[in-house]
Amino acid sequence: MHAFDVLGDPVRRRLLELLADGERTAGALTEIVRAEFGISQPAVSQHLRVLREAGLVSDNKEGTRRVYRIEPDGLLRVREYFDGFWAEALEHFREAAREETG
């Protein structure tokens, strides 16, 4: 189980918002996010890698540029994540309820 931080990071949220408008190069994304959050280029690359590995964005090399776009199936993975998330959370609620009536 992952903590919310995996999904809830504000930099990654901003990257997804930027890509929701349309595809962008790694360079353009980095420039915007570096200015807004004051983080380094390697830090931005790391966030993009997390989003790629989570299946929320995809990237393609186009000539000399790396172009990122939102992965439409990304929503399915987020749903999958929360399916397990709620199963676990409600198991704890069930346990607490059992202790109440005991």
Residues that bind other proteins (CB under 8 A): 1-5, 7-10, 12-14, 16-17, 19-21, 36, 38, 56, 70, 72-80, 82-83, 85-90, 92-98, 100-101
**Residue whose CB is less far from other proteins, 60 or 63:** 60
Give least dist CB 24 to other proteins, A: 14
Q: What span, in angstroms and rounded, lies between the C-alpha atoms of 101 and 81?
A: 31
Q: What is the CA radius of gyration of the chain?
A: 18
What CA–CA distance (Å, rounded) separates 42 from 59?
Answer: 17
Alpha carbon separation from 42 to 1, 49, 61 (Å, rounded): 26, 10, 18
3: Cβ contacts below 8 Å, ≥ 6 apart: none
Residue 43 beta carbon to other proteins: minimum distance, rounded to whole angstroms: 15
Give the residue with the Cβ less far from other proteins, 62 or 91.
91
Q: What minimum distance in Å lies between the beta carbon of 25 and other proteins?
A: 18
